[in-house]
A = this chain, B = another copy of it.
Amino acid sequence: MSPRTKEQVEEIRQRSRQQILKASLELFAHQGFHNTTISQIAKKAGVSKGLIYNYFSSKEDLVGGIIEEAMETGEEIMTTIKDQELDPWVAVDQSIDHIFILVQQNPVYWKMLTSLSFQEDILMKFEPLLRKQEFKNLEHLTDLVRRLGAKKPLMEAMYLSALLDGILLHYLHFKDKYPLEEMKEFLKAKTREIGK
């Protein structure tokens, strides 16, 4: 008889919103943004087409929602590492672990993101958001390799960055057939050469 409480409403909203975001993410990642229809998302999320527009103002806005959410989660993991003062070799290993964990936890997100980075129309709208992140990461890497005694820290960091993205790329394509763990250890071993 009486209307739902604010809390009930908010919970319902969050559940629907999550379902929609999850479905969008998966479809965008596998089919690409422009090849995914709202109807597909609605069906996969188990809601009506109309409901999607109760939570997101447009198809593009879904991308924004996905990125925002992933960044929040990513931020959390990041901070746990950053605060600690560490031996540089340990820090490098931890950073590598961190990146691999991030990717392994949510490979679909990274697939979507990489895919999106080739869609210039969409990219344009979210570039500021993403570039900042990118820059922070490169800065972090540069700092790390400098502490390892690299002679050309920036080059070394860019090299490492390309390597990580390359591994990510291959992992995203081959999925479980890719020896990600082995690659990680191989990579860690390689970093031992830096500064020598």
Contact = CB atoms under 8 A, between A and B. Distances in A.
Dominant SS at the A interface?
Answer: helix
A118 B33 CA distance: 10
Contacts of A46: none
Contact of A165 (B115, B119, B170): B170
Given A118-B118, A169-B169, A173-B117, A155 B186 contact: yes
A88 to B, nearest CB: 20
A13 interface: no
Contact of A162 (B32, B166, B182): B166
A114 B118 contact: yes
Given A32-B34, A32-B118, A118-B111, A187 B159 contact: yes
- Chain B CB within 10 Å — which of A32, A111, A167, A182 has the most? A32
B120 A31 contact: yes
A163 interface: yes
> How many copies of this chain does the complex contain?
4
Given A165-B169, A169-B166, A193-B193, A35 B121 contact: yes
B166 A183 contact: no
A156 to B, nearest CB: 8
Interface string A123-162: 0000000000000000000000000000010010011011
A159 B182 CA distance: 11
Interface of A: 30-35, 111, 114-115, 117-121, 152, 155, 158-159, 161-167, 169-170, 173, 179, 182-183, 186-187, 190, 193
15 contacts: A32-B32, A32-B121, A34-B34, A35-B119, A115-B115, A115-B119, A117-B173, A118-B118, A158-B170, A159-B187, A159-B190, A162-B166, A162-B170, A163-B163, A164-B166
